[in-house]
Amino acid sequence: MEVKEIMSFVEENLRKLYTNREPKGLYEPISYVLSVGGKRIRPTFVLLSNQMFGGDKLEVLRPALGIEVFHNFTLVHDDIMDRADKRRGRETIHVKWNESTAILSGDAMLSEAYELMCSAKPELLPSLLALFSKTVREVYEGQQFDMDFESRTDVSPSEYMSMIRLKTAVLLAGALKVGAILAGASEKDADLIYEYGIGIGLAFQIKDDLLDVYGDTAKFGKNIGGDILCNKKTFLLTTALTTADAESKAELLKWINAENPNPAEKIKAVTGIFTRLGIDKAAEAEMKRQYDYALKSLSEISVDSPEKQTFANIAKDLLYRED
Amino acid sequence: MEVKEIMSFVEENLRKLYTNREPKGLYEPISYVLSVGGKRIRPTFVLLSNQMFGGDKLEVLRPALGIEVFHNFTLVHDDIMDRADKRRGRETIHVKWNESTAILSGDAMLSEAYELMCSAKPELLPSLLALFSKTVREVYEGQQFDMDFESRTDVSPSEYMSMIRLKTAVLLAGALKVGAILAGASEKDADLIYEYGIGIGLAFQIKDDLLDVYGDTAKFGKNIGGDILCNKKTFLLTTALTTADAESKAELLKWINAENPNPAEKIKAVTGIFTRLGIDKAAEAEMKRQYDYALKSLSEISVDSPEKQTFANIAKDLLYRED
């Protein structure tokens, strides 16, 4: 299947998961959150990787949906923690229903993710579940590090990279490896497609950090400077705080500690400091390094199939995306 | 092992689970909640059932801990939903830390529970995980029904029984069946010990409902009448509302809908209605029926070992407990 076909295949089957289940108070919010959409990149990765290694889409479908349900579970609980009212333009569960519903429905989604994983062939369950459990644990650890970083101003770029590796990259990588394991790929190939996922996951996040500051509002879809306003520890800010001269650092800290600064002024000033220090160039270089790592890992995979080129194209689109 | 030895074996190994893991912000709350204690009845059931069917305690230990970690996860998230400040005399996680920590640590406990389950022998994983997933799903459904009942006054006793079956009994029953499966018990025996668990789980909850109204404060450890004050849909209240004559029902509804009633007066009046209607006798009869069902299921199990008597004693202690 082509990527677009895979995406519709995922979408169609995802919508069937939660129809007419009781009690409604538990399952309707889940159905709602899964219908909000999104790119379905993770389950698509499971299926595409599986296809690359010669797997059967029907055997990998439910674990692929499990990865997407897990991802959406993290969004439901993260949105409570972040007090986010909207997600993809629609009200979040704790707003549309209430917080108890968001907690419990999220819990049920996490369990459903495990249940979907468990539909794999029995002989593959131990390695599959070991991978999934490790991935899940790492995602929580990433989320906790991210929360810990909020109250710190001494986060190093390498700590930041470790955090986003856990919070973001391992799930993309894990999705790819799930597809590989279920297709019976060799351990080496499964590890290589995992590393491709880590590389593009990290590159993706740095790109996101860059777009938040240097992006085009119309294309990016979010307001520019959101990260700057809430002092988010991004690749840009952690690099700036670590490498800046004393004067620039003091200026940055002044803006970070300012109470009720004028938003436009703060964004302009901090962006100016970043540019003056060459932080944009440093971020682009790091992004390129991760991109190269992803492509190198991909090229070392022992199979020769068209999906390899598809993965290379995905990486390229990611690096040069404007939104 | 005797029950007491099993309990210490569980306690000792539970405490080892979360030592020195990073990030501390994620794992310290888990370690805290698992150290608060409790009777460890569920993992003890796993081990005792496993022993009855001739299993090996070292093979069943981690899944047994998984059941206890899962149970404690439900307490952590329920306490957020119920806004409970204390649990077993100590501050709950969302009070001692904050709500985000309680959500995320709970999530990590749920995943840890699955991870502990997955340490079972690969050939037993499919049946074990199918049972565990079903149990987990049912516990959520029970919790949701319980929340749905809060805003209703037309809950029937049979709806109430279905709800506590899901919310409370299936986890006790599931624990027993986990032990049976891991010892290689026959499907029939595994189902029988499960049904024993359902019976005592339901009997236990009805006893709890009775003690809340007719118990002795000193022995019960909680204040008497707490359920009455918050109009909790217990076996007593649902039976009373369903079977009462028009006058008694009106009187009950008057107390349920009263704004800021005098607590002592409300408890006295509602208890009086219950007694007049013979609700205490009806509850005792239902409890006895569940107890008999538990003992009958137990007696039909095909093995002949001392643990069978231990399970019979546990059921008896439960029925005649005063706290």
| Closest CA–CA distance from residue A108 to any residue of chain B (Å) | 7
Q: Do B103 and A77 touch (CB under 8 A)?
A: yes
At B19 the pLDDT is 79
Q: What is the pLDDT along chain B (323 residues), one digit of tens a residue?
A: 999 999 999 999 999 888 788 899 999 999 999 998 888 999 999 999 999 999 999 999 999 999 999 999 999 999 999 999 999 889 999 999 999 999 999 999 999 999 999 999 999 999 999 999 999 999 999 999 999 999 998 999 999 999 999 999 999 999 999 999 999 999 999 999 999 999 999 999 999 999 999 988 666 556 789 999 999 999 999 999 999 999 999 999 999 999 999 999 999 999 999 999 999 999 999 999 999 999 999 999 999 999 999 999 999 998 887 65
Q: Which amino acid is at B252?
A: L
Rg (CA), chain A: 20
Residue ranges of E strands in chain B: 86-87, 90-91
Interface ipTM > 0.90: yes
Q: Do A104 and B143 touch (CB under 8 A)?
A: yes
| pLDDT for residue A139 is more than 90 | yes
Two tokens at A67? 């990865």
| pLDDT for residue A257 is more than 80 | yes
Q: How far from B266 is each of B260, B273, B306, CA to CA, in Å?
A: 10, 11, 47
3-state helix, strand, coil in chain B (%, to 5): 75, 0, 20
Report how many Cβ contacts below 8 Å link chain A to chain B: 106
Task: Number of helices (H) and strands (E) in chain A: give both, helices first.
Answer: 17, 2
At A320 the pLDDT is 81
pTM of the model: 0.94
Residue A124 in contact with partner chain B when CB distance is under 8 A? no
Mean pLDDT estimate for chain A:
95
Chain B residue numbers with beta carbons less than 8 Å from the beta carbon of A141 are 22-23, 26
Higher-pLDDT residue of A272, B88: A272
| pLDDT for residue A106 is more than 90 | yes
Q: Do B23 and A148 touch (CB under 8 A)?
A: yes
Could you give phi then psi for residue B92, rounded to 5 degrees? -75, 165
Distance in angstroms (rounded) separating the CA atoms of residues A126 and A118: 10
Q: What is the 3-state secondary structure (H, E, C) of B126-154?
A: HHHHHHHHHHHHHHHHHHHHHHHHHCCCC
Distance in angstroms (rounded) separating the CA atoms of residues A178 and A184: 10
Which letter, b or e, does each residue of B257-286 get, where b requires 16 or more Cβ atoms within 10 Å of its Cβ? Answer: eeeebeeeebbebbbebbeebebbebbbeb
| Closest CA–CA distance from residue A167 to any residue of chain B (Å) | 13
Q: Which amino acid is at A128?
A: L
Task: Work out the number of other CB atoms within 10 angstroms of the CB of residue B64.
Answer: 31
At A218 the pLDDT is 66
Q: Which residues 136-175 of chain B have a CB within 8 Å of chain A?
A: 136-137, 140-141, 143-145, 147-148
- Tens-place pLDDT, residues A150-181: 999 899 999 999 999 999 999 999 999 999 99
At A222 the pLDDT is 67
At B20 the pLDDT is 82
Q: Do A125 and B129 touch (CB under 8 A)?
A: yes
Could you give phi then psi for residue B232, rounded to 5 degrees? -65, 135
Residue B111 in contact with partner chain A when CB distance is under 8 A? yes
First to last CA, chain B: 26
Of B25, B108, B126, the CB nearest to A148: B25
At B323 the pLDDT is 59
Two tokens at B83? 């806004």
Q: Which residues 10-29 of chain A have a CB within 8 Å of chain B?
A: 22-23, 25-26
| pLDDT for residue A221 is more than 80 | no
Closest CA to A179 of A26, A9, A57, A71: A57
Q: Which amino acid is at B310?
A: T
Residue B121 in contact with partner chain A when CB distance is under 8 A? no
